[in-house]
Amino acid sequence: MISMPAFAQNESTMERIKRTKVLRTGFIAGAAPYYVKSVATGQWQGFCVDFANQLAESLGVKLQAIDTTWGNAVLDLQSNKIDCMFGLAPTEQRKKTVGFTDPLFQNTFTLVAKKGFDPKTWDDVNKPEVRLSVDQGSNQDTFATQSLTKATLNRFETSGDATLALQTGRVDAQVLVILLAVTVLSKARQLGHLVIPTPAATAPTSIGVQKEPDQAFTEYVNKWLNAERSKGLIKQTIVDNMQKLAGVDPALFPKEATF
């Protein structure tokens, strides 16, 4: 008799989804506006939650939410605990162990800058006298470490600590992706202002999938993404959740923001 684990090892993601009629994806509590879980009801919200539900509906299957963290999501894909993970950045390190779909959206790097600090280009930022804050291990930390090598970089354990450094005058600006920058400014406009230096610096945010020879699931998701984007639904889902969960007025998104 063939054991279930042995059978499952030879089963592709798409085969398993068709057999079980379930799409398993990772959700992260407290990762607004990507994922938010209500303590009172256990209900999930967020634009990655909406995307996952929309994909499951397209597949005609039930969505199963698996609690995870940004740090554990790759391991969960590797161990066949989940089928996909929305909101993962396809870094070279991650690509060694998991697969990725086409980009879900492009996240633009920005500055939340103190009043009076208004650099026009990244070259203006990349100077020893410019003090920047980032949260350690984040996408913006990777970007700043690689691209802003001459600036004075201050790393903090959390994004909140990096914001506090700006608030207390210890840095001139906080480096953040645009989705987080507009969220911070919507809650504390007195912090400063949004700066998008040129040339625009972006990084893709994608959907992590299992690394496997059979590409049927990845190909399906890519076609679904293309159809959703062509209808304007990717941008609409992000903007709606930013307004609902973070109180961000859609008008705050500058024209440089592309989804």
pLDDT for the residue numbered 212: 97
Q: Do 187 and 148 share a structural domain?
A: yes
CATH number assigned to the domain comprising residue 234: 3.40.190.10
Q: Do 213 and 99 share a structural domain?
A: yes
Q: Do 90 and 12 share a structural domain?
A: yes
pLDDT tens, residue order, the chain (259 aa): 444 444 456 899 999 999 999 999 999 887 778 898 998 999 999 999 999 999 999 999 999 999 998 888 999 999 999 999 999 989 888 999 999 999 999 889 999 999 999 999 999 999 999 999 998 877 888 899 999 999 999 999 888 899 999 999 999 999 998 888 888 888 888 999 999 999 989 989 999 999 999 999 999 999 999 999 999 999 999 989 988 887 777 777 767 666 6
C-beta separation of 243 from 33 below 8 A: no
Is residue 258 in a domain?
no
pLDDT for the residue numbered 256: 64
Query: In the 8-state DSSP scheme, what is residue 250?
Result: G
Q: Do 171 and 114 share a structural domain?
A: yes
Is residue 162 in a domain?
yes
pLDDT for the residue numbered 3: 43
- For residue 4, give both structure tokens: 């279930």
E strand or H helix that includes residue 156: strand 152-156
pLDDT for the residue numbered 139: 80
Is residue 165 in a domain?
yes
Is residue 189 in a domain?
yes
Q: Do 218 and 189 share a structural domain?
A: no
Which residue range forms the structural domain that includes residue 62?
4-105+204-252
Q: Do 124 and 97 share a structural domain?
A: no
Question: What is the domain count for the chain?
Answer: 2
Alpha carbon distance 219, 21 (integer Å) = 18
Q: Do 40 and 98 share a structural domain?
A: yes
Q: Do 173 and 80 share a structural domain?
A: no
pLDDT for the residue numbered 1: 42
Is residue 233 in a domain?
yes
pLDDT for the residue numbered 36: 87
Q: Do 101 and 8 share a structural domain?
A: yes
pLDDT for the residue numbered 112: 97
- pTM for this structure? 0.79
Helix intervals (H) in the chain: 4-9, 13-20, 47-59, 73-78, 92-95, 122-125, 139-147, 159-167, 178-187, 216-230, 233-246
pLDDT for the residue numbered 242: 85
Q: Do 208 and 98 share a structural domain?
A: yes
The neighbouring-strand residues paired with 110 are 176
Q: Do 90 and 29 share a structural domain?
A: yes
Single out the residue in 165, 180, 202 at which a domain terminates. Answer: 202
pLDDT for the residue numbered 75: 96
Q: Do 63 and 178 share a structural domain?
A: no
Is residue 257 in a domain?
no
Helix intervals (H) in 35-126: 47-59, 73-78, 92-95, 122-125
